Structure 1
Amino acid sequence: MSARVVTVFGASGFLGTSVVRALVKRDYRVLAAVRRPDLAGHLQPLGYVSQIHALQANLRFPDSIANAVREADAVVNLVGILQPTGRQTFSSVQAEGAGAVARAAVARGIERVVHVSAIGADASSPSAYGRTKAQGEAAVLAACPGAVILRPSIIFGPGDSFFNRFAALARMTPVIPLAYPDTRFQPVFVGDVAEAVARAVDGELQGGATYELGGPEVLSFRELVQFTLDHIDRHRRIIPLSPGAARTQATVMETLDKLLLGFLPDDLKLTRDQLLLLQRDNVVSPEARREGRTLEGMGISPDALEAIVPSYLVRFRARGQFSQPGHNKL
């Protein structure tokens, strides 16, 4: 086993699990820095005995960050939130927290820092999510100019929060209301993003560069939802919402979530900040493609939706997982 140690902040999440898997396959030892180590037990079978160790860390507490990177040779930060809850605000996690991780790494003499942001990170974004993502990138590069920034589009794979969400909604409602249905996305497979992270840790990517990660297909929001419906064999009417109706829906959902103390099911949650993000396409920029700052530029051939998504949506099929899609829709 390699003596090289990588601290991964946010290791127990959807992307984090795949990143840990990619790193242990390269024989790195992984320190999984998470807020709840008791919920990181699923990482242990991914590696050898003692290869993965979970420890408590919270980006709002610098001492816990410093402790997490104390033995590391490289640091990966995957932490991000779609909706603020309590003291876990966009600013504290995605802006200040990202900078704190980079500064702690530099203080320990760690030169290899990988920060996962998102396409849509923009200092002038109307969305607090987009602005704080950009602020986090700036803070990371200010502390560690050689850091690698990775910006994925929406990430798909078993356990994702996009295709699983709309498949679950289709089981609950006869209609699917959509805000900004023509917004374009470039979904990217979680395994491809994890491979990009691992290559950055290996030192194969250019330090100080920002890479944009997207899959081989660019589809509209409506087309992605229809793709989901087709593969779970359910006929649902997709209803485009006007901007005003979408804001009303988001306001109602936010209010209901507060009244339920945050226990509104994730599949039903919608915020006004998310609507602001939906106003812009979420695709790899022409500049990134031209300069090779993409998965293809790294030598990674991205997986297509059709090759991955149907395999984990079978549990949502109207007539069971062994039915053939396209027949007897409900």
Structure 2
Amino acid sequence: MLKNLSKGFPSLINKRSFSTINENPLTRIHHGSRTQTTGLVATVFGATGFTGRYLVQLLARTGIQVVVPYRCEDEGFRDLKVLGELGQIIPVRFDIRDSESIERAISHSNIVINMAGRDYETRNFSLDDINVHAASRIADLSKNVEKYIHVSTLRASEDSPSHFSRSKAIGEKLTREIIPNCTVVRPSIIFGDEDKFINKWSKVSQNWPFIPRYNQQHKIQPLHCYDLASGILSILETPGTSGKVYEFAGDEVFTWDEFLDMIIDGTAQYSKLNIPVSNDFMKFISEHLLERFARNPNFIKDQIDYHNQDMTTTVGALTLKDLNVTTTPIQEKLIRLSRMYRPGKFFNAIANPQNK
């Protein structure tokens, strides 16, 4: 599809001969109108996902032409096309197991960003299929691009009891072996409008008869989805980022207990019981009840294993501060996101424990 388009419309894909991305920042060219261009083309795998759409928006706003590989129906990428000018967002159908379709999606690109990932298994794809095999396949076919960014996860480890964490660590390792000068991004727990963090816990506080408190004193450092996208864009604009590993997280550190207190204030579910439970109990409930009978389980055994540690940046790691990105405090978004889960009498009230 992409090749046919480029033959019929030579100006549709503008590939710049590019020798500056690895060491020098991108140049923004403004033409005094809505239209702006850098002459660069970026392929974003995972663009139709939760965080991918924010990155597509920022890249398009910068003037980069964005190729969006997709495997969904047209409705899955239609909202992305309005994020740029006419012809700036180019959807290309692909199959993650088909090397030819992947090659077609990156054939015109200077930049490849792999945000594709999976934190749970489905009938069609296992964690290894996406986080290991697909990651290495995309990297192998992208060896000749000028800039490659791989999105992993914070605290990924091959020794972790979590399959998700192990698969992410192996995928990152293989990617760096294939492309030594790639840039790796390890984001923390991500929150935003469509997240599985604030929304998940708000639903639990609304629908469950009690709020399970596990991992109570483990620390978390949540990251806003827009800050992740801003950090990746800053990597492209900052010289000397190739071959480095960045850990993306918010500035504020909370314990799980403190976060759940904020959820209760946001949802005004003050009457719910707060019951401390062990990790083993939550894993048993998740594995034998939720994962078997719930269509979209709130808790997955593997994720409980993954979060059984401090989800914070490591000492000495490169972070968003090194890229001059200011992070978004979670309090700015939490009340708005959790408001819909309040009981009716609290819906218009400002969150305050005195209202209970």
Distance across 2 between alignment mates of 1:192 and 1:205: 20
Matching residue's letter, 1:297: D
Q: CA deviation at 1:329?
A: 5.2
For the pair 1:326 / 2:352, whether they are aligned, the reply is yes
> Quick one: percent identity of the two aligned structures?
25
Distance 1:151 1:324, change over 3 A: same
Secondary structure of the equivalent of 1:21? helix
For the pair 1:250 / 2:276, whether they are aligned, the reply is no
Give the conservation status (yes or no) of the 8 Å contact 1:103–1:143. yes
Distance across 2 between alignment mates of 1:58 and 1:125: 29
Out of 294, 297, 302, which is 2:327 matched to? 302
Q: CA deviation at 1:80?
A: 1.0
Distance 1:205 1:199, change over 3 A: farther
Out of 29, 42, 46, which is 1:10 matched to? 46
Matching residue's letter, 2:349: S
Distance across 2 between alignment mates of 1:270 and 1:253: 10
Q: CA deviation at 1:232?
A: 2.0
Equivalent in the alignment of 2:256: 221
For the pair 1:93 / 2:130, whether they are aligned, the reply is yes
Distance 1:44 1:17, change over 3 A: same
Distance across 2 between alignment mates of 1:279 and 1:316: 27
Matching residue's letter, 1:271: I
Q: CA deviation at 1:204?
A: 3.7
Aligned positions of 1:24-35 closer than 5 A = 24-35=60-71
Equivalent in the alignment of 1:231: 266
Matching residue's letter, 2:150: H
Q: CA deviation at 1:311?
A: 2.5
The TM-score with structure 1 as length reference comes to 0.90
Give the conservation status (yes or no) of the 8 Å contact 2:249–2:313. yes
Which structure: greater helix fraction? 1
Distance across 2 between alignment mates of 1:265 and 1:329: 34
Query: 1:138-195: per-residue Cα shift (whole Å, max 9, x none)?
Result: 1111111111100011011111110011112222123111332222110011111101
Give the conservation status (yes or no) of the 8 Å contact 1:117–1:137. yes
Out of 140, 164, 167, which is 2:175 matched to? 140
The 4+ residue runs of structure 1 with deviation greater than 6 A are none
Query: 1:277-303: per-residue Cα shift (whole Å, max 9, x none)?
Result: 122111100121xxxx10111111211
Q: CA deviation at 1:309?
A: 2.3
Secondary structure of the equivalent of 1:88? coil
Distance across 2 between alignment mates of 1:63 and 1:322: 54
Distance across 2 between alignment mates of 1:244 and 1:198: 40
Distance 1:173 1:272, change over 3 A: closer
Distance 1:110 1:275, change over 3 A: same
Matching residue's letter, 2:198: F
Matching residue's letter, 1:194: A
> 69-78 or 52-61: which moved more?
52-61
Equivalent in the alignment of 2:312: 283
For the pair 1:57 / 2:94, whether they are aligned, the reply is yes
Distance 1:218 1:125, change over 3 A: same
Q: Which runs of 5+ in 2 are unaligned?
A: 1-36
Q: CA deviation at 1:229?
A: 1.5
For the pair 1:272 / 2:297, whether they are aligned, the reply is no
Equivalent in the alignment of 1:23: 59
Out of 145, 150, 153, which is 1:118 matched to? 153
Secondary structure of the equivalent of 1:40? helix
For the pair 1:74 / 2:100, whether they are aligned, the reply is no
Give the conservation status (yes or no) of the 8 Å contact 2:185–2:248. yes
Equivalent in the alignment of 1:261: none
Aligned positions of 1:190-205 closer than 5 A = 190-202=225-237, 204=239
Q: CA deviation at 1:265?
A: 4.1
Give the conservation status (yes or no) of the 8 Å contact 2:149–2:184. yes
Give the conservation status (yes or no) of the 8 Å contact 1:318–1:329. no
Q: Which runs of 5+ in 1 are unaligned?
A: 258-263
Give the conservation status (yes or no) of the 8 Å contact 2:198–2:337. no
Out of 166, 170, 175, which is 1:131 matched to? 166
Distance across 2 between alignment mates of 1:153 and 1:98: 19
Equivalent in the alignment of 2:198: 163
Distance across 2 between alignment mates of 1:113 and 1:255: 36
Q: CA deviation at 1:327?
A: 6.1
Out of 157, 175, 181, which is 2:210 matched to? 175
Distance across 2 between alignment mates of 1:104 and 1:54: 19
> 229-238 or 208-217: which moved more?
229-238
The TM-score with structure 2 as length reference comes to 0.84
Secondary structure of the equivalent of 2:158? coil
Query: 1:35-54: per-residue Cα shift (whole Å, max 9, x none)?
Result: 21521111122111211122
Q: CA deviation at 1:307?
A: 1.9
